[in-house]
Amino acid sequence: MALDFEKIFQAALDAGVEAARPGGEAAVAWVRESAKANEATLRSIAEGVAKRQISKETAEMLLRESARALQSEAAALSVIIKASAQAAINAFLNSLFGALSSALKLAL
């Protein structure tokens, strides 16, 4: 029975990389969006303080909560990364074991 392992693994790897692509793009987009949102919040706080619309006390509270929002954004990023990794593993294994199962049926 001829079994081209190299070809099977390459196909599985390609399937894994392809499955991870949407997650990779979503992660990059989310990091950009999160950075922009954080910048906008900090800018608004600075402007509010400069215009005396926000006191030092309130500004400190808002800065603390902005940092907390950044934590939430990091948690969402973590989910995006985990989900894309899972998609890549699933695609890799499905491709690999689909090919190996076919080979095994032929061998039997």
Partner 1 sequence: MRYYFAVQTYSASGAFLTMRTLVVLLLFGAALTGCAIPLSAYDQASIDRTTEISRSILALYQEMMMIDPDERADAVRGSLRDAHGDIETQIRLHLLREQARALNDEGALVAENLLASWQAFSMNHFSGEETALTDATLEIERQILERHLRSAFVAEESKKLARGGTQTNQTPE
Is 61 a residue that touches partner 1 (CB under 8 A)?
yes
Is 58 a residue that touches partner 1 (CB under 8 A)?
yes
Q: Which two tokens stand for residue 44?
A: 């608004």
Is 46 a residue that touches partner 1 (CB under 8 A)?
no
**Residues binding partner 1 (CB under 8 A):** 1, 3, 19, 22-23, 26, 30, 33-34, 37-38, 40-41, 44-45, 47-48, 51-55, 57-58, 61-62, 64-66, 68-73, 75-76, 78-80, 82-87, 89-91, 93, 96-97, 100-101, 103-104, 107-108
